[in-house]
Amino acid sequence: MTGIIGYQIYIPRYRITSKEIRAIWGLSASGINEKSVPYKDEDSISMGLASALNLLNNLELNLTTIGSLYFASISSPYIDKPVSTLLVSMLGLNENVFTSDFGGSAQAGAMALINCKNMVFNTNSNGLIIISDCLKSRPGSVLERSLGAGAISILIGNDNPVASITGNYSYSIEISDRWKGVNSDYKVGDERFTREFGFIPSIKNAILGLLESTNKDLNDFKHIVIQQPNGKAPEYIAKSMKFDKNKLKEGNIANYFGDLGAASVFIGLAKVLDSANSGDEILIVAYSSGGSQAISLKVTDNIKTFRSNPPVQYFIENKIIVNYSKYLQFLGQI
């Protein structure tokens, strides 16, 4: 069955604590102790490339087996230029590799995975997905408290996956909860309004649709990873759907890295896979502005032969804390 052959994350080494931001502006994001900070020369392309190079090195893969490459991000440095073609060249892949870029929504990574899965199934070649976000907002803004940076690369294939993809379901309603114009900073709606009329009903309906289409029950899933605009948001889904919030624990990464945009649920998934056992079933849901993509996976025996290296825990522990002025320098704000 088509699934994940390998995965690898990359997180910038620098962090700023919520305590530091709160000391400057008086507020911090719920459930986030610290967030990752990109260095001056890091962006969504460089971070994605770092994760991909480490993944391909870990797999010792014949690059000619890769037939497609997908790049997903809501923070590409380009408005009119595909990053996927650039990454094909940087990674030394064949020039006839199918390429595609996904953006415009934190669902971009999930959309890339679903499209890649279909391509791989139909062509019997491997597909590489690179999901990377380097999110920034103006000093003192609501989202400055939470926006972080991180990337993950995932290889999808038909042979010997560590986790098979068992289902997916899409659900969307229209709500403007967070948006960004071409030449403007992020805008956000009222937090409670968007949670009650966007985040909760959209994710809930995507999960219910997936359960019905796969004939599953929430009790079948050992781990559930939900979009993390902050560390507390997924708990509202647990409360609404009446499942044990401990199912969310292993995939919670916002506490360490902040809001990672399109990479959020997939870096949470990587953390889960780093300690998962064969037979574990996992549910992930990506969300943005009323749209949700729910995906189910089942861990196979092949997990015994592949884990990310370095693992997610390495990036949690290996960090350098910076003060607010250094943080602003890294982001090019001063």
CB atoms within 10 A of CB 214: 17
**CATH number of the domain residue 132 falls in:** 3.40.47.10
Together in a domain, 7 and 156: yes
Q: What pLDDT shows up at residue 192?
A: 82
Number of folded domains in the chain? 2
Together in a domain, 95 and 13: yes
What is the pTM assigned to this prediction? 0.96
Together in a domain, 175 and 112: no
Q: What pLDDT shows up at residue 122?
A: 93
Together in a domain, 128 and 20: yes
Q: Please report where in the chains the tokens 């993390």 appear, as a residue.
A: 228
Q: Which residues, at least 6 apart from 102, have a Cβ–Cβ distance to it below 8 Å?
A: 70, 71, 72, 73, 108, 109, 111, 112, 115, 262
| Cα dihedral 194, 199, 205, 210 in deg (nearest 10) | 160
Together in a domain, 188 and 170: yes
Together in a domain, 68 and 123: yes
Together in a domain, 146 and 113: yes
Q: What sections of the chain are H helices per DSSP?
A: 18-25, 44-59, 83-91, 108-123, 191-194, 200-214, 233-241, 254-257, 264-273, 312-317, 324-330
Together in a domain, 202 and 124: no
pLDDT tens-digit map of 249-295: 999 999 999 999 999 999 999 999 999 999 999 999 999 999 999 99
Between 172 and 334, the higher pLDDT residue: 172
pLDDT tens-digit map of 35-67: 999 999 999 999 999 999 999 999 999 999 999
Together in a domain, 184 and 324: no
Together in a domain, 172 and 195: yes
Together in a domain, 292 and 188: yes
Together in a domain, 104 and 153: yes
Instruction: Give the range of the structural domain holding residue 262, as residue numbers without chain letter.
Output: 163-304
